[in-house]
Amino acid sequence: MAQRQKTRQQRDNLVWAAAKLFRRQGYSGTGLRDILAASGAARGSLYHYFPGGKEQIGAAAVNAAGGLVTETFVELARQADGPADFLHRYSDLLVRWLEASKFRDGCPITTTLLETTPESAAISAAGRAVFADWRGVMADMLRRDGWPASRVPATATAIIAGLEGALLMARVQGSARPIHDTAQALCDLLETNQSRQTRA
Amino acid sequence: MAQRQKTRQQRDNLVWAAAKLFRRQGYSGTGLRDILAASGAARGSLYHYFPGGKEQIGAAAVNAAGGLVTETFVELARQADGPADFLHRYSDLLVRWLEASKFRDGCPITTTLLETTPESAAISAAGRAVFADWRGVMADMLRRDGWPASRVPATATAIIAGLEGALLMARVQGSARPIHDTAQALCDLLETNQSRQTRA
DNA sequence: CATGTATTATGACGACTGGTCTACATATTT
DNA sequence: AAATATGTAGACCAGTCGTCATAATACATG
């Protein structure tokens, strides 16, 4: 039993080391060598847990990192007082993370996905699942806020897309402004529903 | 003189071959070998035109591909009847390109930028310049549409961010829907100004 | 407790590609 | 014809990913 945990931990070490490196340097830019050094595991261990090699650990990294973001979304959606408040809280969080890493740590899955889609079916599938989860959290929140069902999916997608794009631009510019600007504009968008309800 | 053109063309061949490959496979995922094969140039020629090596050709590729998109933006902004019409036209264009390439050709600069920012100062700088151009086109269009100056910059940024994020999600999902959804939501956002003007 | 079987951990090896540089051949201009 | 600009070919070593035979450990059974 103690062993089970220990091995599980080594596997996790591998995945999280990979996730961190992929996020900073990209998928192709990160060698197995780097991952092994960062996780303290040996070369063969990686192929024990991931017979599929780099592609499989890439998919696992997308799953793990994406899942962590999903958890953050869920928790924040629970705490927040509506979608606009959620956006403010999350964009603040994002900015803090970015600045703490000197704009090195962006979205933990986009870089890997852009490099490997659609060449790697496994990684693409992992990415699709993560995006679906994220949209799901947003959609739930919008519905709870009283949005008409017909507009929920598109708006949820747009919010994720906006955040994703803002994060990318913020990294390139080395500035938090794209995130603040985009969050502000998205909040304006969210108001449209408010005003429609008021008018109706 | 004939040679001048020929050499200029060989240099261009290199840049465009690099741009195309970087867009599909990413920066690290593309070897100089691939670029040379695609452009028909020889190994040493690359270092004649780009003494800075891969990093320099990466920056040149971002410049070239980004510039082409800027031109498209400008032309479309001229033709379009306001920002909303622009969004519809551009998203249609995007979807056609995506489908024609079977969702392989996404944004020509994001992948390279995510992989290299901020490690490569040259590529990051090229990316910043391109994004600034894009925001500029959007901002001009919003101003012409009568937007209050105070809201123009943030909205322009949000539009670029939304398109960028939508393009990324569309690639991963292998579907045009994220683009249509995001464009729709952004059009809703653009209406907010309309309604404010009407109310005022 | 002892023994045998899975499971897990290891690092050297090979076939290959990575980006870079040097040496040489050709073309254009002065 | 000399000098400069441009194009070509290949050598170079560090690094890539994946495979393998082997060693160490954990677990289940008699």
* A179-187 mean pLDDT: 96
Find all residues with CB under 8 Å of A52, minimum gap 6, and list them.
A59, A122
Helices and strands (H and E) in chain B: how many: 9, 0
Separation between Cα atoms, residue B34 and residue B41, nearest integer Å: 11
pLDDT tens-digit readout, A21-52? 999 999 999 999 999 999 999 999 999 999 99
Query: Between A103, A128, A168, which is nearest B110 by CB?
Result: A168
Check residue A109 and report its DSSP letter: T
pLDDT at A189: 86
Q: Which residue is nearest to nucleotide C23 (CA to C1')?
A: B44
Find all residues with CB under 8 Å of A92, minimum gap 6, and list them.
none
pLDDT at A1: 40
pLDDT tens-digit readout, B58-115? 999 999 999 999 999 999 999 999 999 999 999 999 999 999 999 999 999 999 999 9
B63 touches B131 (CB < 8 A): no
Q: Which long-range contacts (CB under 8 A, 24 or more apart) does B190-199 make?
A: B190/B83, B190/B84, B190/B87, B191/A192, B191/B84, B192/A188, B192/A189, B192/A191, B192/A192, B193/B145, B193/B146, B193/B147, B193/B148, B193/B151, B195/A195, B197/B146
B91 touches B164 (CB < 8 A): no
Chain B nearest-CA distance from A173, in A, is 6
| Region of poorest pLDDT, from A12-21, B35-44, B75-84, B190-199 | B190-199
- CATH class of this structure's domain B54-199: mainly alpha
Q: Does A39 touch chain B (CB under 8 A)?
A: no
| Region of poorest pLDDT, from A3-7, A102-106, A156-160 | A3-7
Chain B nearest-CA distance from A63, in A, is 14
Name the residue among A159, A122, A87, A187 with its Cα closest to residue B178. Answer: A159
Kindly determine whether the C-beta of residue A177 is less than 7 Å away from any atom of nucleic acid strand C.
Answer: no
Name the residue among B139, B114, B141 with its Cα closest to residue B127. Answer: B114
Reply yes or no on whether the pLDDT at B4 is more than 60: no
Mean pLDDT of chain B: 92
Mean pLDDT of chain A: 93
Find all residues with CB under 8 Å of A38, minimum gap 6, and list them.
A17, A20, A21
Residues of A in contact with B102 (CB under 8 A): 118
Q: Which residue has the tokens 């060449």?
A: A119
pLDDT at B199: 55
Characterize A122-142 residue by residue with b for buried, 16 or more Cβ atoms within 10 angstroms of its Cβ, and e for exposed.
Answer: ebbebbbbbbebbbebbbebb
Q: Does B110 touch chain A (CB under 8 A)?
A: yes
B36 CA to C20 C1' in angstroms comes to 15
pLDDT tens-digit readout, B166-188? 999 999 999 999 999 999 999 98
Q: In chain B, helix, strand, coil percent, each to 5?
A: 80, 0, 20
Chain B nearest-CA distance from A78, in A, is 24
* A91-95 mean pLDDT: 98
Residues of B in contact with A178 (CB under 8 A): 157, 161
B188 touches A189 (CB < 8 A): yes
What are the phi and psi torsion angles at B61 (to 5°)?
-65, -40
Residues of A in contact with B66 (CB under 8 A): none
Residue contact A172–B25, C-beta within 8 A: no
Residue contact B110–A158, C-beta within 8 A: no
Q: Detail the DSSP E strand segments found in chain A.
A: none
Half-sphere exposure of A12 (CA within 13 A, CB side): 6
Q: Does A185 touch chain B (CB under 8 A)?
A: yes
Reply yes or no on whether the pLDDT at A75 is more than 70: yes
Reply yes or no on whether the pLDDT at A2 is more than 50: no
Reply yes or no on whether the pLDDT at B198 is more than 80: no
**What is the domain partition of chain B in residue ranges?**
54-199
A26 touches B114 (CB < 8 A): yes
Kindly state the tokens that stand for B86: 């622009």
Query: Between B102, B124, B165, which is nearest A172 by CB?
Result: B124
CB contacts under 8 A, A 122-181 vs B, are: 124, 127-128, 131, 151, 153-155, 157-166, 168-169, 171-174, 177-178, 180-181
CB contacts under 8 A, A 47-66 vs B, are: none
Q: Which residue of A has its CA nearest to B107?
A: A114
Characterize A76-113 residue by residue with b for buried, 16 or more Cβ atoms within 10 angstroms of its Cβ, and e for exposed.
Answer: bbeebeebbbbbbbbbeebbeebeeeebeebbbbbbbb
pLDDT tens-digit readout, B124-133? 999 999 999 9
A60 CA to D22 C1' in angstroms comes to 28
Judged by phi (left if over 0) then psi (alpha if -120 to 50, else beta), residue A105 lies in: beta
For residue A192, name the pLDDT band (cuts at 50, 70, 90).
Answer: confident
Separation between Cα atoms, residue A133 and residue B84, nearest integer Å: 29
Identify the residue with better confidence: A196 or A149. A149
The protein residues having a beta carbon less than 7 Å from any atom of strand D are A 1-4, 30-34, 43-44, 47, 51, 53-55; B 3-4, 6-7, 10-11, 41-45, 47-49
Burial (Cβ within 10 Å: 0-12, 13-18, ≥19) of residue A27: buried
What are the phi and psi torsion angles at B28 (to 5°)?
-70, -30
Separation between Cα atoms, residue B46 and residue B15, nearest integer Å: 10
Q: Write down which residues 13-72 in B have CB closer than 7 A to strand C.
A: 30-34, 43-44, 46-47, 53-55
